[in-house]
A and B are shown apart, each in its own frame.
Chain A
Amino acid sequence: MVIVVGGYASGKRTYVKSLGYEDVDMSDGVLDERPVLLNLQDLIAAASGDVQPEALAQSVADKEVVTCCEIGNGIVPLDPGERAWREQVGRTLNILSERADRVVRMVCGIPVTLK
Protein backbone atom coordinates (compact mmCIF):
# COMPACT_ATOMS: atom_id res chain seq x y z
CA MET A 1 0.00 0.00 0.00
CA VAL A 2 1.03 3.59 -0.70
CA ILE A 3 -0.11 6.25 1.77
CA VAL A 4 -0.23 9.84 0.56
CA VAL A 5 -0.74 12.57 3.14
CA GLY A 6 -0.68 16.33 2.84
CA GLY A 7 -2.70 19.45 3.36
CA TYR A 8 -5.79 20.33 1.38
CA ALA A 9 -4.86 20.94 -2.29
CA SER A 10 -1.24 19.93 -1.81
CA GLY A 11 -1.16 17.74 -4.93
CA LYS A 12 -2.10 14.34 -3.51
CA ARG A 13 -4.48 13.31 -6.29
CA THR A 14 -2.10 14.51 -9.00
CA TYR A 15 0.63 12.43 -7.39
CA VAL A 16 -1.63 9.36 -7.34
CA LYS A 17 -2.22 9.86 -11.08
CA SER A 18 1.54 9.96 -11.61
CA LEU A 19 1.59 6.43 -10.18
CA GLY A 20 -0.57 5.32 -13.12
CA TYR A 21 -4.08 5.56 -11.66
CA GLU A 22 -6.95 7.42 -13.30
CA ASP A 23 -9.99 9.15 -11.83
CA VAL A 24 -12.14 6.05 -12.44
CA ASP A 25 -9.81 4.09 -10.13
CA MET A 26 -10.47 6.43 -7.21
CA SER A 27 -13.30 6.49 -4.69
CA ASP A 28 -13.71 9.64 -2.65
CA GLY A 29 -14.31 9.02 1.05
CA VAL A 30 -16.34 5.85 0.46
CA LEU A 31 -15.42 2.18 0.38
CA ASP A 32 -15.96 0.22 -2.82
CA GLU A 33 -13.99 -2.06 -5.12
CA ARG A 34 -11.78 0.66 -6.59
CA PRO A 35 -8.07 0.43 -5.72
CA VAL A 36 -7.56 4.03 -4.60
CA LEU A 37 -9.28 5.64 -1.63
CA LEU A 38 -9.13 9.42 -1.49
CA ASN A 39 -9.80 11.39 1.68
CA LEU A 40 -9.52 8.77 4.39
CA GLN A 41 -10.46 11.54 6.85
CA ASP A 42 -13.95 11.76 5.27
CA LEU A 43 -14.44 8.00 5.52
CA ILE A 44 -13.55 8.19 9.21
CA ALA A 45 -15.84 11.18 9.75
CA ALA A 46 -18.72 9.19 8.27
CA ALA A 47 -17.98 6.14 10.46
CA SER A 48 -19.43 5.83 13.91
CA GLY A 49 -17.41 7.79 16.45
CA ASP A 50 -16.46 4.79 18.53
CA VAL A 51 -14.87 2.72 15.75
CA GLN A 52 -11.35 1.80 16.79
CA PRO A 53 -8.40 2.87 14.61
CA GLU A 54 -7.40 -0.78 14.13
CA ALA A 55 -10.84 -1.59 12.70
CA LEU A 56 -10.67 1.48 10.46
CA ALA A 57 -7.24 0.41 9.23
CA GLN A 58 -8.57 -3.09 8.54
CA SER A 59 -11.47 -1.70 6.52
CA VAL A 60 -9.07 -0.18 3.97
CA ALA A 61 -6.44 -2.92 4.11
CA ASP A 62 -7.11 -4.09 0.53
CA LYS A 63 -6.52 -0.64 -1.03
CA GLU A 64 -3.46 -0.02 -3.18
CA VAL A 65 -3.36 3.69 -2.43
CA VAL A 66 -4.92 5.70 0.40
CA THR A 67 -4.77 9.48 0.56
CA CYS A 68 -5.57 11.53 3.63
CA CYS A 69 -5.57 15.21 4.51
CA GLU A 70 -3.28 16.14 7.38
CA ILE A 71 -5.76 17.49 9.89
CA GLY A 72 -3.79 17.37 13.13
CA ASN A 73 -1.71 20.50 12.72
CA GLY A 74 -4.12 23.02 14.16
CA ILE A 75 -5.57 24.13 17.47
CA VAL A 76 -7.30 21.41 19.49
CA PRO A 77 -10.97 21.63 18.44
CA LEU A 78 -13.46 22.74 21.09
CA ASP A 79 -15.94 20.06 20.01
CA PRO A 80 -15.28 16.65 21.62
CA GLY A 81 -16.49 14.85 18.48
CA GLU A 82 -14.01 16.77 16.32
CA ARG A 83 -11.24 16.00 18.80
CA ALA A 84 -12.09 12.30 18.67
CA TRP A 85 -12.22 12.36 14.85
CA ARG A 86 -8.83 14.06 14.69
CA GLU A 87 -7.31 11.45 16.97
CA GLN A 88 -8.94 8.57 15.05
CA VAL A 89 -7.55 9.89 11.76
CA GLY A 90 -4.06 10.25 13.23
CA ARG A 91 -3.98 6.85 14.89
CA THR A 92 -5.45 5.08 11.86
CA LEU A 93 -2.78 6.71 9.68
CA ASN A 94 -0.05 5.61 12.11
CA ILE A 95 -1.24 2.00 11.85
CA LEU A 96 -1.56 2.13 8.06
CA SER A 97 1.80 3.79 7.55
CA GLU A 98 3.54 1.22 9.71
CA ARG A 99 2.23 -1.51 7.39
CA ALA A 100 2.55 0.45 4.14
CA ASP A 101 5.25 -0.11 1.55
CA ARG A 102 5.55 3.61 0.94
CA VAL A 103 4.44 6.75 2.77
CA VAL A 104 4.60 10.06 0.94
CA ARG A 105 3.81 13.58 2.11
CA MET A 106 2.96 16.23 -0.44
CA VAL A 107 4.49 19.67 0.06
CA CYS A 108 3.31 22.20 -2.53
CA GLY A 109 3.02 19.46 -5.14
CA ILE A 110 6.37 17.89 -4.28
CA PRO A 111 6.31 14.34 -2.94
CA VAL A 112 8.49 13.90 0.15
CA THR A 113 9.06 10.23 0.86
CA LEU A 114 8.72 9.46 4.57
CA LYS A 115 9.02 5.71 4.18
Chain B
Amino acid sequence: MMILVTGGASSGKSAYAEQVACALPAPHFYLAAMKPFGEEGARRIARHRALRAGKGFITVECYDGLDAVAKSALEACSTGPCEAEGSASASPSPSCDSSSRPVRGTALLESLGNVVANALFADDGSCATYDDALKTVMEGVASVAGAFENLVIVGDEVGGDGIRYDAATETYIKLIGSAACAITARCDVVVECVAGQPLVVKGDSPFK
Protein backbone atom coordinates (compact mmCIF):
# COMPACT_ATOMS: atom_id res chain seq x y z
CA MET B 1 0.00 0.00 0.00
CA MET B 2 1.33 3.41 -0.97
CA ILE B 3 -0.25 6.63 0.24
CA LEU B 4 0.67 10.22 -0.58
CA VAL B 5 -0.36 12.93 1.88
CA THR B 6 0.22 16.32 0.34
CA GLY B 7 -0.63 19.87 1.34
CA GLY B 8 0.73 23.37 1.69
CA ALA B 9 2.92 24.71 4.48
CA SER B 10 1.48 24.15 7.97
CA SER B 11 -1.62 22.45 6.57
CA GLY B 12 -1.54 19.60 9.07
CA LYS B 13 -0.17 17.06 6.60
CA SER B 14 2.59 15.70 8.84
CA ALA B 15 0.26 15.07 11.75
CA TYR B 16 -2.27 13.42 9.45
CA ALA B 17 0.39 11.28 7.71
CA GLU B 18 1.56 10.07 11.13
CA GLN B 19 -1.98 9.03 12.02
CA VAL B 20 -2.21 7.14 8.75
CA ALA B 21 1.14 5.43 9.28
CA CYS B 22 0.33 4.51 12.88
CA ALA B 23 -2.91 2.84 11.77
CA LEU B 24 -0.91 0.57 9.44
CA PRO B 25 1.10 -2.44 10.65
CA ALA B 26 4.18 -1.97 12.86
CA PRO B 27 7.09 -1.64 12.99
CA HIS B 28 6.89 2.03 12.06
CA PHE B 29 9.86 3.70 10.43
CA TYR B 30 10.25 7.43 10.04
CA LEU B 31 12.44 8.18 7.04
CA ALA B 32 13.78 11.67 7.66
CA ALA B 33 14.84 13.35 4.42
CA MET B 34 15.35 16.85 5.77
CA LYS B 35 18.94 17.98 6.08
CA PRO B 36 19.44 19.50 9.50
CA PHE B 37 20.30 23.03 8.43
CA GLY B 38 20.58 26.03 10.73
CA GLU B 39 18.58 27.01 13.77
CA GLU B 40 15.18 27.17 12.04
CA GLY B 41 15.75 23.73 10.51
CA ALA B 42 16.66 22.39 13.93
CA ARG B 43 13.46 23.91 15.34
CA ARG B 44 11.37 22.29 12.61
CA ILE B 45 12.97 18.93 13.24
CA ALA B 46 12.41 19.35 17.00
CA ARG B 47 8.74 20.11 16.37
CA HIS B 48 8.32 17.02 14.24
CA ARG B 49 10.18 14.90 16.80
CA ALA B 50 7.79 16.13 19.49
CA LEU B 51 4.83 15.22 17.24
CA ARG B 52 6.18 11.70 16.84
CA ALA B 53 7.29 11.20 20.43
CA GLY B 54 5.80 8.15 22.09
CA LYS B 55 4.37 6.78 18.84
CA GLY B 56 7.08 4.16 18.46
CA PHE B 57 8.70 5.37 15.25
CA ILE B 58 12.20 4.17 14.45
CA THR B 59 13.93 7.13 12.81
CA VAL B 60 16.16 6.52 9.80
CA GLU B 61 17.98 9.54 8.40
CA CYS B 62 17.96 9.44 4.61
CA TYR B 63 19.05 12.83 3.37
CA ASP B 64 22.05 11.23 1.65
CA GLY B 65 19.71 9.24 -0.58
CA LEU B 66 17.03 6.60 -0.39
CA ASP B 67 18.93 3.62 -1.75
CA ALA B 68 20.41 2.58 1.59
CA VAL B 69 17.21 3.14 3.54
CA ALA B 70 16.03 -0.46 3.59
CA LYS B 71 19.43 -1.62 4.84
CA SER B 72 19.53 1.11 7.49
CA ALA B 73 16.00 0.24 8.56
CA LEU B 74 16.97 -3.39 8.98
CA GLU B 75 20.01 -2.43 11.02
CA ALA B 76 17.99 -0.04 13.15
CA CYS B 77 15.43 -2.78 13.58
CA SER B 78 17.91 -5.33 14.84
CA THR B 79 18.91 -2.96 17.63
CA GLY B 80 15.71 -0.94 17.98
CA PRO B 81 12.39 -1.53 19.71
CA CYS B 82 10.73 -3.26 16.75
CA GLU B 83 8.71 -5.73 18.72
CA ALA B 84 7.91 -3.29 21.49
CA GLU B 85 5.01 -1.75 19.66
CA GLY B 86 1.78 -3.57 18.99
CA SER B 87 0.44 -3.78 15.49
CA ALA B 88 -2.61 -1.63 14.86
CA SER B 89 -4.18 -4.14 12.50
CA ALA B 90 -4.72 -7.86 12.28
CA SER B 91 -1.87 -8.39 9.83
CA PRO B 92 0.88 -10.92 10.51
CA SER B 93 3.20 -9.99 13.34
CA PRO B 94 6.11 -7.84 12.24
CA SER B 95 9.29 -9.57 11.34
CA CYS B 96 12.58 -7.78 11.46
CA ASP B 97 15.07 -10.46 10.68
CA SER B 98 17.27 -9.57 7.76
CA SER B 99 16.50 -12.78 5.88
CA SER B 100 12.94 -11.69 5.16
CA ARG B 101 12.48 -9.09 2.50
CA PRO B 102 10.76 -6.77 2.05
CA VAL B 103 11.02 -5.26 5.49
CA ARG B 104 7.76 -5.69 7.32
CA GLY B 105 5.83 -2.74 8.56
CA THR B 106 5.22 0.80 7.52
CA ALA B 107 7.53 3.61 6.49
CA LEU B 108 6.68 7.29 6.66
CA LEU B 109 8.86 9.28 4.27
CA GLU B 110 9.02 13.00 5.03
CA SER B 111 9.05 14.75 2.71
CA LEU B 112 9.01 14.65 -1.09
CA GLY B 113 10.22 18.24 -1.24
CA ASN B 114 13.28 17.30 0.79
CA VAL B 115 13.93 14.21 -1.32
CA VAL B 116 13.80 16.40 -4.43
CA ALA B 117 16.05 19.07 -2.91
CA ASN B 118 18.57 16.42 -1.88
CA ALA B 119 18.61 14.99 -5.41
CA LEU B 120 18.82 18.39 -7.09
CA PHE B 121 21.12 20.51 -4.92
CA ALA B 122 24.55 19.23 -3.91
CA ASP B 123 26.38 20.43 -0.80
CA ASP B 124 29.00 22.15 -2.96
CA GLY B 125 26.32 24.40 -4.46
CA SER B 126 26.11 22.57 -7.78
CA CYS B 127 22.79 21.56 -9.27
CA ALA B 128 21.86 18.30 -11.00
CA THR B 129 19.91 18.37 -14.25
CA TYR B 130 16.14 18.02 -14.12
CA ASP B 131 16.27 14.60 -15.79
CA ASP B 132 18.98 13.24 -13.52
CA ALA B 133 17.29 14.53 -10.37
CA LEU B 134 13.90 13.11 -11.38
CA LYS B 135 15.53 9.75 -12.08
CA THR B 136 17.25 9.81 -8.66
CA VAL B 137 13.98 10.69 -6.92
CA MET B 138 11.84 8.10 -8.69
CA GLU B 139 14.39 5.31 -8.31
CA GLY B 140 14.72 6.19 -4.65
CA VAL B 141 10.98 6.17 -4.08
CA ALA B 142 10.67 2.86 -5.94
CA SER B 143 13.37 1.27 -3.82
CA VAL B 144 11.68 2.45 -0.61
CA ALA B 145 8.27 1.34 -1.85
CA GLY B 146 9.71 -2.09 -2.57
CA ALA B 147 11.36 -2.37 0.82
CA PHE B 148 8.37 -1.85 3.09
CA GLU B 149 4.92 -3.34 3.27
CA ASN B 150 3.37 0.11 3.40
CA LEU B 151 4.77 3.48 2.45
CA VAL B 152 3.27 6.81 3.43
CA ILE B 153 4.90 9.77 1.67
CA VAL B 154 4.45 13.35 2.80
CA GLY B 155 4.28 15.60 -0.26
CA ASP B 156 4.68 19.35 -0.66
CA GLU B 157 2.58 21.85 -2.56
CA VAL B 158 4.99 24.49 -3.80
CA GLY B 159 3.63 25.42 -7.21
CA GLY B 160 0.65 27.47 -6.11
CA ASP B 161 1.98 30.97 -5.64
CA GLY B 162 2.08 32.03 -9.30
CA ILE B 163 5.46 33.69 -8.85
CA ARG B 164 8.29 33.31 -11.40
CA TYR B 165 11.57 32.28 -9.85
CA ASP B 166 15.18 31.74 -10.91
CA ALA B 167 15.91 28.68 -13.06
CA ALA B 168 17.08 26.46 -10.19
CA THR B 169 14.00 27.19 -8.08
CA GLU B 170 11.68 26.62 -11.03
CA THR B 171 13.41 23.31 -11.70
CA TYR B 172 12.80 22.43 -8.05
CA ILE B 173 9.09 23.33 -8.31
CA LYS B 174 8.70 21.40 -11.56
CA LEU B 175 10.46 18.36 -10.10
CA ILE B 176 8.22 18.22 -7.05
CA GLY B 177 5.16 18.49 -9.28
CA SER B 178 6.36 15.88 -11.78
CA ALA B 179 7.50 13.48 -9.08
CA ALA B 180 4.17 13.87 -7.27
CA CYS B 181 2.26 13.13 -10.49
CA ALA B 182 4.34 10.00 -11.10
CA ILE B 183 3.94 8.90 -7.47
CA THR B 184 0.18 9.43 -7.29
CA ALA B 185 -0.18 7.28 -10.42
CA ARG B 186 1.20 4.41 -8.31
CA CYS B 187 -0.59 5.31 -5.08
CA ASP B 188 -3.60 3.52 -3.66
CA VAL B 189 -4.66 6.59 -1.72
CA VAL B 190 -3.87 10.29 -2.16
CA VAL B 191 -4.94 12.86 0.42
CA GLU B 192 -4.51 16.62 0.39
CA CYS B 193 -4.57 18.39 3.74
CA VAL B 194 -6.25 21.80 3.68
CA ALA B 195 -6.54 23.88 6.82
CA GLY B 196 -5.91 20.74 8.85
CA GLN B 197 -8.68 18.81 7.09
CA PRO B 198 -7.99 15.76 4.92
CA LEU B 199 -9.39 15.85 1.39
CA VAL B 200 -9.22 12.42 -0.23
CA VAL B 201 -8.41 12.92 -3.92
CA LYS B 202 -7.72 9.29 -4.86
CA GLY B 203 -8.90 6.02 -3.39
CA ASP B 204 -10.76 5.59 -0.14
CA SER B 205 -10.07 7.29 3.17
CA PRO B 206 -7.44 5.33 5.08
CA PHE B 207 -9.75 5.54 8.12
CA LYS B 208 -12.98 4.40 6.49
Contact = CB atoms under 8 A, between A and B. Distances in A.
B36 interface: no
Chain A, interface size category, equals: 20 to 34
A105 B195 contact: yes
B10 A94 contact: yes
Interface string B1-20: 00000011111100000000
Given A72-B157, A75-B169, A86 B196 contact: no
A114 B163 contact: no
B89 interface: no
B197 A73 contact: no
Main secondary structure of the interface of A (DSSP, over half): mixed
A89 B9 CA distance: 9
A93 B196 contact: yes
B10 A91 contact: yes
A35 interface: no
B123 interface: no
B203 interface: no
B194 A114 contact: yes
Contacts, number: 79
Given A70-B8, A70-B160, A73-B160, A103 B173 contact: no
Chain B, interface size category, equals: 20 to 34
B161 A74 contact: yes
Contacts of B160: 7, 70, 73-74
A70 B163 contact: no
A105 B173 contact: no
B76 interface: no
B199 A73 contact: no
Contact of B10 (A5, A89, A114): A89
B40 interface: yes
Contacts of B199: 105, 112, 114
B159 interface: yes
Interface in B61-101: none
B47 to A, nearest CB: 10
Interface in A54-101: 68, 70-76, 80, 83, 86-87, 89-91, 93-98
Contacts of A17: none
Contacts of A103: 194-195, 197
Interface of B: 7-12, 40, 157-163, 165, 169, 172-173, 194-199
